[in-house]
């Protein structure tokens, strides 16, 4: 009976996650990474930085194919008003169509309480950028961050994506900082780091766990 239980647990684990992999963040490996509208370089071993530039930027893991599961990574932005938008894109079809969850670190402790409720954001590009979501669904696809970290420091993010349900967790807190339903009909795609207009960002420890 003991052997049967062990086998059952192992089988359940296999069924839950088809594979899990920590990615090597080397932007010079052109066969694995596609950098869009940014320059990417290793700031130190295991950490990649995207420079600031006009319009959004992406660093896409070309070999990824993700539908459901969890994506974890560490990220660092800046406490610069309107100049730090950092996060992760998923279900990427191309550089124009994807979903993303991103953070505005400059709003983590903003004295303007309205802006503080705009610390984390979901978007589906190109149909639902943040401007359209805020106008059409005020407060539904963005949220404040409780127990927010220093906006100039690294923080850990976990995204849980399950058939249209999207949850974002910060620094291993059991309560999500954002919970929304997807606005797209995409069922899968690539994964990549995302930075917004005028923003730079640093990223590390990307772990993708795809479920069956």
**12 belongs to a structural domain:** no
Q: How many domains does the chain have?
A: 1
pTM for this prediction: 0.90
Alpha carbon distance 140, 120 (integer Å): 11
Per the prediction, the chain carries an average pLDDT of 91
DSSP secondary structure letter of residue 8? H
Structural domain that includes position 23: 18-210
Alpha carbon distance 27, 208 (integer Å): 17
**25 belongs to a structural domain:** yes
Mean pLDDT along residues 162-184 = 97
Residue 10 pLDDT grade (very low, low, confident, very high; cuts 50, 70, 90): very low
Residue 22 pLDDT grade (very low, low, confident, very high; cuts 50, 70, 90): confident
Per-residue confidence (pLDDT) for residue 18, from 0 to 100: 53
| Cβ–Cβ under 8 Å, residues 140 and 133 | yes
**9 belongs to a structural domain:** no
Alpha carbon distance 90, 4 (integer Å): 38
**80 belongs to a structural domain:** yes
Residue 23 pLDDT grade (very low, low, confident, very high; cuts 50, 70, 90): confident
> pLDDT, tens digit, for every residue of 102-134?
999 999 999 999 999 999 999 999 999 999 999
Residue 12 pLDDT grade (very low, low, confident, very high; cuts 50, 70, 90): very low
**What are the φ and ψ backbone dihedral angles of 189, each rounded to 5 degrees?**
165, -170
Whether residue 168 is predicted with pLDDT greater than 60 in this model: the reply is yes
Alpha carbon distance 121, 59 (integer Å): 19
**7 belongs to a structural domain:** no
| Tokens standing for residue 56 | 């959004």
Mean pLDDT along residues 155-179 = 97
**119 belongs to a structural domain:** yes
CATH number, domain with residue 111: 2.60.120.560
Per-residue confidence (pLDDT) for residue 9, from 0 to 100: 32
**192 belongs to a structural domain:** yes
């Amino acid at each position: 009976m003991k052997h049967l239980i062990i086998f059952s647990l192992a089988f359940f684990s296999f069924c839950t996650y088809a594979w899990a992999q920590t990615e090597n963040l080397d932007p010079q490996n052109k066969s694995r990474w596609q950098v869009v509208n940014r320059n990417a370089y290793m700031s130190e071993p295991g950490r990649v930085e995207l420079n600031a530039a006009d319009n959004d930027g992406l660093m896409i893991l070309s070999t990824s194919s993700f539908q459901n599961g969890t994506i974890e990574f560490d990220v660092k932005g800046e406490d610069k008003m309107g100049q730090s938008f950092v996060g992760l894109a998923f279900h990427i079809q191309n550089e124009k169509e994807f979903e993303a969850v991103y953070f505005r670190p400059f709003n983590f402790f903003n004295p303007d309480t309205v802006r503080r409720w705009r610390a984390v954001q979901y978007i589906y590009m190109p149909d639902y950028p943040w401007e359209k979501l805020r106008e059409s669904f005020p407060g539904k696809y963005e949220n404040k961050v409780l127990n927010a970290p220093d906006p100039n420091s690294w923080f850990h993010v976990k995204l849980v994506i399950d058939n249209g349900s999207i949850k974002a967790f910060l620094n291993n807190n059991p309560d999500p900082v954002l919970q929304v339903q997807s606005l797209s009909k995409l069922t899968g795609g690539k994964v990549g780091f995302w930075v917004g207009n005028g923003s730079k960002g640093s990223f590390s420890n990307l772990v993708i766990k795809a479920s069956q």
